[in-house]
A and B are shown apart, each in its own frame.
Chain A
């Protein structure tokens, strides 16, 4: 079983839709939870990070962590074509980043 599971998609939504991206994990030692965004032929860039259970909002993006269920989510409101990218969840344990597979998102105009 992988430490971090993420549905690779692809996920296609119309512009303006609410997008929900999710990851599950098995290691209770994970402390920090991150979301990276990777555009085609680019390296990943950090989008958001959280530490505790609960929600964290940044503009159209909301990161949610439920440590009891070992489940994290990223919500994108009013999705735009420019949000089309691969979204990778990542977690830190022992100082190392462990990534999910990434979910490919396409937002159609």
Chain B
């Protein structure tokens, strides 16, 4: 399994500002994922980040709002830009695990999350 840490664990920010969330993994991984978990909502994929290439964003998420960096195989950052109260959420970093015994199923390991409150 992979051990994932995130910084900061929580933050309270003012609207209009930006916050960069860091994700560190204890092993080299090809794909890293960023999710958002809003209160009462499903865990939603924001983007997939591969080292050495541009992140791939899901429908409803854009690079200007959520720029992502992936400088190496163990680290990634997600920036939440020009924040509004609607961005208040938990942001989680995730990586793909080894193929399961059943074949074809990649377990995903999640970081502890960053709890963001925008006032």
Identify the A interface with B (CB < 8 A). Answer: 2, 4, 8, 31-32, 34, 41-46, 49, 51, 88, 90, 92, 96-102
Partner of A99, one of B42, B100, B111: B42
A96 adjacent to B45 (CB under 8 Å): yes
B110 adjacent to A45 (CB under 8 Å): yes
Identify the B interface with A (CB < 8 A). Answer: 4, 40-45, 92, 94, 100, 102, 104-105, 107-113, 115
A101 adjacent to B105 (CB under 8 Å): no
Q: Which residues of B contact A42 (CB under 8 A)?
A: 112-113
A41 adjacent to B100 (CB under 8 Å): no
Chain A CB count within 10 A is highest, among B41, B45, B108, B113, for: B108
B42 adjacent to A43 (CB under 8 Å): no
A-B CB contact pairs (8 Å), 24 listed = A2-B42, A4-B42, A8-B40, A32-B105, A34-B105, A41-B112, A41-B113, A41-B115, A42-B112, A42-B113, A43-B92, A43-B94, A43-B109, A44-B110, A45-B110, A46-B107, A49-B100, A51-B102, A97-B45, A97-B108, A98-B42, A99-B42, A99-B44, A101-B42
Closest residue of chain B to A3 (Cβ to Cβ) is B42
Q: Which residues of B contact A31 (CB under 8 A)?
A: 104
A101 adjacent to B100 (CB under 8 Å): no
A43 adjacent to B4 (CB under 8 Å): yes
Extra A-B contacts (17), CB below 8 Å, given A43-B94, A45-B109, A92-B105: A4-B42, A8-B40, A32-B104, A32-B105, A41-B113, A43-B4, A43-B111, A43-B113, A44-B92, A45-B110, A46-B108, A49-B100, A51-B105, A88-B43, A90-B43, A98-B42, A99-B42
Instruction: Report the bound CA distance from A59 to B68 in whole Å.
Output: 40
Partner of B40, one of A2, A32, A51, A101: A101
A101 adjacent to B113 (CB under 8 Å): no
Q: Which residues of B contact A45 (CB under 8 A)?
A: 109-110
Partner of A43, one of B44, B45, B110: B110
Contacts known (A2-B42, A99-B43); A43 close to B102, Cβ less than 8 A: no
Instruction: Report the bound CA distance from A90 to B112 in whole Å.
Output: 18
